[in-house]
Amino acid sequence: MKKRKLIWRIFPFFLIIIIVSLFLEAWYFINHSRQFFLENSEKELTIRARLIQLKLASAMAEKQDLELDDLCKQLGESIQTRVTIILPSGEVVGDSFARIKPMENHKNRPEIQAALQGKKGMSIRHSTTLDDTMMYIALPVTTPEGGVRAVVRTAFSISAIDKNIDDMRNKIFLFLVLTVFTAAAASLYVSRRIIRPLESIKQGAQAFARGNLSNRLALPDTEELSELARAMNQMAQNLDDRIKDSLDRRKELEAVHGSMQEGVIAIGNDEQIITINNAAARIFNFPPDQLKNRNILEVARNFALQNFIQKALSTHEPVEDDIFIQQDGDHILNIHSSALWDAREQRMGTLIIFHDITRIRRLERMHKDFAANVSHELKTPLTTIKGFIETLQEMVAGKSEDAAGFLKIIEKNVNRMIALINDLLALSRLERLEGTGIEFEENHLSTMIEDAVGSCRAMAEKKQMQIHVDCPEDLTAMVDPILMEQAIANLVENAVKYSPEKTQVDITARGTDQWVEIAVTDFGNGISKEHLPKVFNRFYRVDKGRSRQEGGTGLGLAIVKHIVQYHNGRITVDSVKGKGTTFHICIPC
């Protein structure tokens, strides 16, 4: 539908209102004028009729011999009014304008009937005698007894009134036409005066829409339009500032994305690529400008990557995984996803970040291999050294106390090195086990806990410590029994080693529908809060002097952590300085 300009909506209404108002006023004036003339004519005729009524009543009372027809003609000529005298029988006995003989009986005339009843009669109708529209006023001429002797009727032609009214109507119509044209011109001028500022504002708004936000609208004279123009100028300024800020942020983001070594890709809910940086485009081996708005599954030609993307799009939670791809060699990518939300808090897609960790994994593998190889190679000569130390101790037994003391120190350090190498080998084996997919078996936890406690019983008895075990006999878990026993034994050994004499260690195990929890609690000195996040790191010691004295390697808790993670579980620690420490192992059922 074609839109009309505002001026052609305002101007016609103004014009219609003016025309209707003028015509209603003219119609009312013309009708009121005719009514006014008729009322004045009625009053004048009534006065003339009363004068004739009085004169005729006086003459009849004196019983004068009257020629009524001649009297009517004299009176009619003098007052320029038709005068008619009618007897109660309806016979016309006098008329100023016509001969009475051919005139018909007037008894049935409405004004005559009213007068015969003693009232004033009035009627407007066409006279067949005079062939004109007349106004009639009839008054009764009564006797002293109240009877009606005759009726006096005066008449006046209203054709002159109608002619005057018609002349007045024509003049008024001509004046109305001139007034309408004048009003139309004035309305058009006023409308244009009103519309002109709006046209200016419209042109300014169109300039804003074309992007010319530096343009400013002139302020009109009227308060309302001035406020509108001022508000639009402010809106353009704010919009210009926001667009510039958005462009700056966009350039910053583009610079950040372009310089990032990590691949970044945003995917919509419809699996279409929203944005992608150069690093991510290199992973898919496509130019970045060819990937935008394409379906991600079309360019992600790796099955594991496709599965990861579909999993990331199907959940609101962050997803992380490592995948292997072949592109100019073998690469390992660490992928992390997080949900994208719009301003209305509705899910609009997923952001995926790619980290190329190939070099890191290779270094880790080299480190693990190096530690395993070195540990394995060192274990054989250390075992040989320990054997010769024991032989030398037997040879100098009872002969030289100094030599025996030196050999004891050498033996102690060799034992520490052997323990360290054993822990390194155990840790290396655990790292090599990760991801091999070994299936666990259902085992009774009470048996594993008792075996682990048995390996530490001698150390506990030496320090006069009690080890209490609280584990249901029927509690089972899907575990590797050797590894889980080693983890529990490491925790119990640490609890005994770092607890004062004559204290106790509590071991409890409980099961739920989802988890099996094992807790090892001691009542020793405890661990400070600043050390708790680091106790599972390799070679980390809370009290280095005491650990060296007790012969700790700093790898026990790291081994426990790897064993628990190998079982897809988690390990936590709670400790209060001076009261004791509790380690919690949680394994999924």
Determine the Cα–Cα distance for residues 456 and 464; give it in Å rounded to an integer: 12
What does the pLDDT read at residue 584?
A: 92
Kindly state the average pLDDT of the residues 462-479: 87
- What phi and psi, each to the nearest 5 degrees, are found at residue 582? -130, 125
199-223 pLDDT per residue, tens: 787 777 777 777 777 778 777 777 7
- The closest alpha carbon to 548, from 413, 436, 455, belongs to 413
Nearest-angstrom CA–CA distance, 174 and 161: 20
Q: With bands split at pLDDT 50, 70 and 90, how would you rate the model's confidence at 545?
A: very low
| Domain layout of the chain by residue ranges | 9-164, 260-356, 361-430, 438-588
Name the strand (E) or helix (H) holding 114.
Answer: helix 110-116
pLDDT band at 70 (very low <50, low <70, confident <90, very high): confident
- CA–CA gap between residue 267 and residue 298 (Å, rounded): 13
Distance CA 88, CA 146 (A): 13
Name the fold adopted by 438-588.
Answer: Heat Shock Protein 90 (3.30.565)
pLDDT at 526: 82
Residue 192 CA: distances (Å) to CA of 10, 206, 349: 10, 20, 53
Q: Domain 9-164 belongs to what topology? A: Beta-Lactamase (3.30.450)
Q: Using alpha carbons, select from 439, 451, 571, 581 the residue that is nearest to residue 517.
A: 571
End-to-end CA distance of the chain: 71
Decide if 149 contacts 143 (C-beta within 8 A).
yes
Q: Which pLDDT tens digit goes with each residue over 285-307?
A: 777 777 777 887 777 777 777 78
Place of tokens 């639009």: 232
CATH fold of 361-430: Helix Hairpins (1.10.287)
pLDDT at position 142: 83
More confident residue, 517 or 537: 517
Q: How many CB atoms lie within 10 A of CB 15?
A: 17
Residues 515, 517, 520: CA angle, nearest 5 degrees:
170
Lookup: tokens for 103: 């005139």
Average pLDDT, the chain: 78
CA–CA separation, 352 vs 299, rounded Å?
15
- In this predicted structure, the answer to whether residue 548 has a pLDDT above a threshold of 60 is no
Number of C-beta neighbours around residue 218 at 10 A: 11
Mean pLDDT of the region 228-233: 82
Share of the chain above pLDDT 70, in %: 83
| pLDDT tens, position by position, 304-362 | 777 888 888 888 888 888 777 776 667 777 888 888 887 788 888 888 888 777 777 77
Q: How far apart are CA 542 and CA 573, in angstroms?
A: 14
**Phi, psi (degrees; rounded to nearest 5) at 301:** -95, 25
Q: Fill in the amino acid letter for 304.
A: A
Instruction: Give the residue with greater pLDDT, 59 vs 150.
Output: 150
Q: How many C-beta neighbours within 10 Å does residue 153 have?
A: 28
Note whether 374 and 283 are within 8 A (CB). no
Same topology between domain 9-164 and domain 260-356: yes
**CATH 3.40.718.10 matches 260-356:** no
pLDDT of residue 435: 47
